[in-house]
Structure 1
């Protein structure tokens, strides 16, 4: 007879799997319910651990949370690799911030200027200094900087490693779509279903589509030395080398619901910006296009904590573009809440903020 789990996690992305692993480490019996629907964000995520270059919304609570997560990643990656036997591709060689043309420099400065004051060095670089660090950059690159503490991980390997580490501790994985909290019998239930979380409760989470293109160099030439967060033709683009001769190009931002069909127009736009920054990519082959659905909220902050009005239900969703980065600290805080009742989650992330707004609107 199967033991009734102490915790059931609904969602098998990086956030849900990290939470399940941490709960199992604390001796809890854990189930993860997940249906691998097209668009699962962390199945597509390029793996940026980038509190400097990826924080689009300068909310103090989110920025501090992101930097805490960044500081936790070296130990988290080492522990996860040891527990699973899987190399998660954690790279600490920093990220180049690159403006393609002179008019892109103002956009780059506006995107990253508010990060001053955090313990994350971001060294300004002129065009020659950029190309010294990354010889494949275009001769037209006009300047930028180097973010020492923006790192990178293989998000798909992280998911694989988390599942393996959890399985080694007895986590049970149930491959099914949960459509109601009442379908799950457990001591506590955690909604970590990303963009699909609203199907389980009325959370204001919306999918934001992001497309990623994978390129391969048929000549086997040298790849990128660093990840690149660039602005070309006034628009951001992210590039990272992977497995020697591959390059990830990411990512678009589109509000098109649950459409997960790759778009030729989005692919062309990504490649145009990528080639503007790194001309050698024009000769590479497109090997795959992927679409992920990032779970966004009206204030772009996560929803984490107890579900109002339900003593046995919790929610951990809405991490938008930051799910992989935030996974270690989100899992730790949610596990502590589940195990001891201690709530160290930032007050800005409380689920109650949306329930209170809904109650005010109904009066």
Structure 2
């Protein structure tokens, strides 16, 4: 008979794995229940840690939380790399904001106007300044900025490292999909199942499909020096070098339920924008095309805290596009809440703000 753990985590994404690791560091017996369902967001995340250049932080509480998380990442990455022996591909060399046309430059400026006073300002760059930092950019690029506080990480290495660090401390990983809280018996149960969290309780969390294309350079030429958040004909795109000769291209948003089939239209759109910014990518191979389902909520804020009416049950979901960025602080706060009753979670993220899925979606 399977022993009753101190903590059961339902979900093996970056936040669930980080909480499991933190709990195991406290000497607790931890089980992680996870079935790698196609569309798991953490499995295809591009690894942006970008509170300055990311435009969709709709609430000051989330923006402050994002900056706190980014400041926590250097120590978190160093600790995790030492615990796992895995290089996380953590890059601290900033992120470029790139406008392809004059109209795109105006749009780029408008996207960040509301952030005045909240962020460390971006360094403004003209076209020559951009290409001095990133020689592979197209001559047509009109300018933009440089966000020194924005970093990126190899998301899949982080997941692998979290599992390894947890396993070294005795975390047990159970390859099983949990569809009801009644299926799990533990001292504390954490729901961190991303877009599938509503199967376990009535939170209004919905999937937002995001497509990622991985390009590989067969000539093994020079790669990107920086991550790039670009705007091409008014549409965003994100580029990041990986493993020397690979480039991750991301940024599609699509409300298609739980459909995880890659879209030819989305692939074409990503490649068109990527090549417009970095023409050398036209000669690269498409190594993979993947889809992830980001967990979103009606107010685009996370759901974090005790499950109402369910003693010993907790939830940490709804992080939308920001799961990797927010993971270090979210894990620390959830661990403190579950183990010691210390609630430092922003009130705006409380599960109680949603009375039920039906009521929330009808307002």
User: Do these two structures clear the TM 0.5 threshold for a shared fold by scoring above it?
Assistant: yes
User: Moved runs in structure 1, 4+ residues, more than 6 A?
Assistant: 356-362
Compute the displacement of 1:114 (Å). Answer: 2.4
Deviation digits for residues 276-307 of structure 1 (CA, Å, limit 9, x no counterpart): 11111111111110100000000000000001
User: What's the TM-score, normalizing by structure 1?
Assistant: 0.97
Q: 8 Å contact 1:231–1:237 — kept in the other structure? A: yes
User: What's the TM-score, normalizing by structure 2?
Assistant: 0.97
Structure 2 spans left out of the alignment, 5+ residues = none
| Secondary structure of the structure 1 residue equivalent to 2:354 | helix
* Larger deviation, residues 350-359 vs 104-113: 350-359
Q: Relative to structure 1, is the Cα distance of residues 361 and 128 closer, same or farther in structure 2, using a 3 angstrom cutoff?
A: closer
Compute the displacement of 1:3 (Å). Answer: 3.3
| Secondary structure of the structure 2 residue equivalent to 1:66 | helix
Deviation digits for residues 24-46 of structure 1 (CA, Å, limit 9, x no counterpart): 11121111000000011011000
Q: 8 Å contact 2:203–2:357 — kept in the other structure? A: no
Compute the displacement of 1:359 (Å). Answer: 7.0
| Secondary structure of the structure 2 residue equivalent to 1:321 | coil
Deviation digits for residues 234-276 of structure 1 (CA, Å, limit 9, x no counterpart): 1000001111111110021000011111111110000000111
CA distance, structure 1, for counterparts of residue 218 and residue 16 of structure 2: 37
CA distance, structure 2, for counterparts of residue 158 and residue 361 of structure 1: 34
| Residue 167 of structure 1: aligned partner | 167
RMSD: 1.5
Structure 1 spans left out of the alignment, 5+ residues = none
Q: Size of the alignment, in residue pairs?
A: 362
Q: How does 1:88-237 map to 2 (within 5 A)?
A: 88-237=88-237
CA distance, structure 1, for counterparts of residue 200 and residue 293 of structure 2: 17
| Residue 66 of structure 2: aligned partner | 66
| Residue 76 of structure 2: aligned partner | 76
CA distance, structure 2, for counterparts of residue 300 and residue 57 of structure 1: 8
Q: Relative to structure 1, is the Cα distance of residues 319 and 223 closer, same or farther in structure 2, using a 3 angstrom cutoff?
A: same
Q: How does 1:1-363 map to 2 (within 5 A)?
A: 2-355=2-355
Compute the displacement of 1:357 (Å). Answer: 8.6
